[in-house]
Structure 1
Amino acid sequence: MDNIIEVKNVSYQYPNSDYKALDNLSLTIRKGEWVAIIGHNGSGKSTLAKLLNYLLVPDTGELIVDKQPVIEENMWTVRNKVGMVFQNPENQFVGATVADDVAFGLENRGISRQKMLEIIPMALKEVHMEAFADREPTYLSGGQKQRVALAGIIAVAPKIIILDEATAMLDPKGRKEVIAAILKLKARLGDELTVLSITHDIDEAADADRIIVINDGQVVDEGRPAEIFSAGPKLLELGLDVPFAEQLKSALNNLGISVPSKYLDEEGMINWLWQLNSKM
């Protein structure tokens, strides 16, 4: 599969900062992948997201999105290919109603009103928000607001969706709603959609095909979720959470109980505990 995102030796330092947010960073994302980029606050992951959409300009290095260099001349071409859902959905709302908000991106692209009237209900249905089309976004829950923001992205059909800490401000129910909507969309579109999840939420990262770990602006590890999560102590050293099942394995190991060396999700851990209990 072709690379849809290429980051080559990119560095970026914010004005008045004493250190580089990104330091000679290189990585690739293949078309159709769901990749989670994890790291502690300040590790550089959100800076990368903004660089990919030309919201920031790198000091050195090169970024390529769907074979287009991310430079000023290509700014709008790249932004049409990349849809971003940010941490605070209220910062993205511009419409008086949910439907108006979803229409905004379509209007900017010169879509006819007749076509918009077809697209808006479909986009809202994709995130189970069609019953809220005439509601004011202000009065929605956090998870509902974020799903409306996602519907606005779905409506313009980008090739890439970047979730920039999109679930960070949500309660567990809201997080599940947003991730479920993305999973449904990804299942329907398959390799036609690439998802880049910028997060420190381990549960969100667990749904990815691949995880890239960033620390102090550099890639320090990458692999399948099972490979990354099995290195529990290493994640803790980087200021990241460890999945509950791995925490439980560590606690049992400290009690002298032999535990599986391979990664287990919560369901796998429950099955193993049942087997262990049946032998005792």
Structure 2
Amino acid sequence: MNTYVQTIDHGRIREVRLARPPVNALDPGLCRGLIAALDAAVSGEAEAVVLSGAPGIFSAGLDVPHLLSLGQDRHALHAAWGAFFGAARTLAALRIPVVAAITGHAPAGGCVLSLCCDYRVMARSTDPQKPYAIGMNETQVGLAVPEGAQQLMRRVVGQHRAERLLVAGDMIPAEEALRIGLVDELADAEHVVPRAIAWLEPLLRLPRAPMLQTRALARADLVQALEPDRLHLDRFVEAWYEPDTQAGLHALLAKLRK
């Protein structure tokens, strides 16, 4: 198993934990490890999955320092983004239920992964003045949000609210995320994974084939949103080299280095 991903079995439910310190930044290695762990869960005896992260951080999104290190290598950049969206598609198309145990902040790619799950349980911060937050903040660092990823947001919060959040690149505090439906439940940090498991248990007591068939039909639009022709990665890679985008990304890199 990839060292960036850990698995823990809770009876019939497998927890797949992102484990790439310090912030679970999504580089190709982590994305490939996540795909492999999800495939192994489905091919094994797991009947459902919980996707979790580290205390305080679910995933900080794409590994921007790694992406910038690729320089002008458009092929490598395309492959890196393709690995991320491949992981998102695997989650969306998983034929068994999957819950996001959002153990802390979930910006950008972390938010995308959570939106590919059936249900989202998010941690409350122990400091009310510093709540955990979730959202697609791409525009704040100079990136456009691909159409397929936008559809994930629209699917859960509605078209107009999604437009406002996506254009502004807002990060939404946990309580507000619950209010608008971006997450389904809040829990204290130590209870996030147990609550995710608890949500799955009654689902697994239902007649299995009808439940899975109904779920697949209900989620067909989610899978379609992440098809390559809805993502336009070639266009996205070219936009990566626009002056505004590069300025925003290098400003972010400087901030991360402080």
TM range (shorter): under 0.3
Q: As a proportion of its length, which structure holds more strand?
A: 1
Which structure shows the higher helix fraction?
Answer: 2
Taking CA–CA contacts closer than 8 Å with sequence separation of 6 or more, which of the two structures ends up with the larger relative contact order?
A: 1
Instruction: Provide TM-score, normalisation by structure 2.
Output: 0.27
Greater C-alpha Rg: 1
